[in-house]
Homo-oligomer: A and B are copies of this chain.
Amino acid sequence: MSAESDAGEDTDTRTQIMRATYHGLCTHGYADLTMQDIADELDKSRSLLHYHYDTKDDLMLAFLEHLIGWVGDRLAESDTEHPVARLEEYITKFVIDPDEDRRQSFALALLELRLQAVHNEAFRTRLQKHYQGNIEAVAEIIEDGSEAGVFTSVDPYTTGEAIYTALEGARMYQVTLGADHATQTMRNVLFRYIVTELLTDDYLLQEVFTPGRE
Query: Chain A: residues with CB nearer than 8 A to chain B?
Result: 108, 111-112, 114-115, 117-118, 124, 127-128, 131, 158-159, 161-162, 165-173, 175-179, 182, 185-186, 188-190, 192-193, 196-197
A47 nearest CB across to chain B (Å):
31
Chain B residues within 8 Å of A179, by CB:
128, 131
Asked if B158 and A185 sit within 8 Å, CB to CB, the answer is yes
A178 nearest CB across to chain B (Å):
7
Chain B residues within 8 Å of A118, by CB:
108, 175-176
Main secondary structure of the interface of A (DSSP, over half): helix
Q: In the bound complex, how far is the Cα of B189 from the Cα of A117, in angstroms?
A: 27
Set B165, B170, B178, B189: member contacting A173, Cβ < 8 A = B165
Set B112, B131, B175, B197: member contacting A196, Cβ < 8 A = B197
User: What 18 additional pairs, Cβ within 8 angstroms, besides A158-B185, A162-B166?
Assistant: A111-B114, A112-B115, A114-B177, A124-B178, A127-B176, A128-B178, A161-B182, A162-B189, A165-B169, A165-B172, A165-B186, A166-B166, A166-B170, A168-B173, A169-B170, A169-B172, A172-B172, A193-B193
Asked whether A128 and B177 contact (CB < 8 A) given A115-B108, A196-B197, the answer is yes
Asked if B115 and A177 sit within 8 Å, CB to CB, the answer is no
Chain B residues within 8 Å of A185, by CB:
158, 161-162
Asked if B192 and A197 sit within 8 Å, CB to CB, the answer is yes
Asked if A176 and B114 sit within 8 Å, CB to CB, the answer is yes
Chain B residue with minimal CB distance to A108? B118
Chain B residue with minimal CB distance to A117? B176
Q: In the bound complex, how far is the Cα of B180 from the Cα of A128, in angstroms?
A: 12
Can you list the 4 inter-chain pairs with the closest CB atoms, starting with the nearest?
A169-B169, A166-B166, A162-B189, A165-B169
